[in-house]
Amino acid sequence: MRQKLLKIAILQVKLVAIAMVLLLPALLIVTAKAEKFYMELWKELGITQQEGKAKLKDGFIYGFLYEGGFRNIRNIILGDKEAVAKDLLEYTRTYVYGSGFKNDYAKYREASKPVLSMVAPSEPAVRKRYIEGVRLQMRAIKAEIKNTDGELKKLYEEQFELLERQILDFSDPKSKTIEFIMQNEASRFNKATNYYCEQYTKWEIDFPQDPMLFIKNKLHKFLDETAAVDYEAKLVKIEGTNYFEKRDYNYKPNSWKYAYQAGPELTGTVRAFVKTWVSELNNVQKV
């Protein structure tokens, strides 16, 4: 039973979204019976403040958070969710302004940079690759010829002769086959280049060089996705899983669903904080 509660508790504090959104599921209603267990949870999990900061980084950059290192966790059980929300939000804001987060973001941004999947094709390199491929087949068939006889051996010999003609064709500077292959290679390279350019443009938007702009974009996304939450939406249980009665709601972003679960009061607290933070970031950028 205790292990089961531990798994449930871990799931409640593992959140999937940006740091503001990640906060919400951990502040949902829990039963009084779990109070003592939660008081021992962090010690049992061995979470330190340093690890908590690392999880904050994960929340903003990678999209998940584990609430280690935070004080007042007992207030979640007692129901003072708004107080805990403000504490976590302030902690988060202080952390992301630090050099540690900026360095981690720079590393993640660089690691996320798209890479062109192929190099520009050159005729000598393409010719060499195809010739080497044919020679590899010829070595395999030659070994089979030595170990077979009869009709099967004859088939292998015919195939070997065909590959010999391919070698001659590929070696010809005026080979039409190589010309056709080069056209296909060029087409593939153009498609790969276009895709790379699209991904690079998207990367520049998703991961701006300034980490504060990255944060502001995340906060704007949160505000947009939680602007019109239907807190009166009804749930239906199907095979033990809750779904929204209104089908469209099941396809809402996670931030919308977390806000629904957290309720209007807690969501309002988080949204107010985020709005103030966005204004603060706007003022910093104007200076």
pLDDT tens-place string over residues 216-269: 888 898 899 999 999 999 999 999 999 999 999 999 998 898 888 888 888 888
User: What pLDDT is attached to residue 51?
Assistant: 60
pLDDT score, position 285: 60
Q: What is the DSSP string of 1-16?
A: -HHHHHHHHHHHHEEE
Residue 22 CB neighbour total at 10 angstroms: 28
pTM of the model: 0.63
β-strand pairing of 241-244 with 14-16: unpaired
Q: pLDDT by residue (tens digit) across 166-204?
A: 999 999 999 999 999 999 999 999 999 999 999 999 999
Read off the pLDDT of residues 10-67 as tens digits, 9 standing for 90 and up. 333 333 333 344 444 333 323 233 334 334 444 444 455 556 555 555 555 444 333 3
Which tens digit of pLDDT belongs to each residue from 271-284?
A: 898 899 999 888 86
Output the pLDDT for position 218: 86
In this predicted structure, the answer to whether residue 8 has a pLDDT above a threshold of 60 is: no
At 117-161, the pLDDT tens digits run 899 999 999 999 999 999 999 999 999 998 888 889 999 999 999
Alpha carbon distance 64, 68 (integer Å): 12
Residue-wise pLDDT for 70-107, tens only, equals: 344 444 444 556 666 676 677 677 777 878 788 888 99
Distance CA 245, CA 185 (A): 52
- The pLDDT, as a whole number, for residue 73 is 42
Instruction: Give DSSP secondary structure letters for 48-70.
Output: -HHHHHHHHHHHHHTSEEE-TT-
SS3 label, residue 163: helix
Give the pLDDT confidence score for residue 88 in this predicted structure: 67
- What confidence score (pLDDT) does residue 23 get? 43
Contacts of 109 (CB under 8 A, 6+ apart): 207, 209, 214
pLDDT of 198? 97
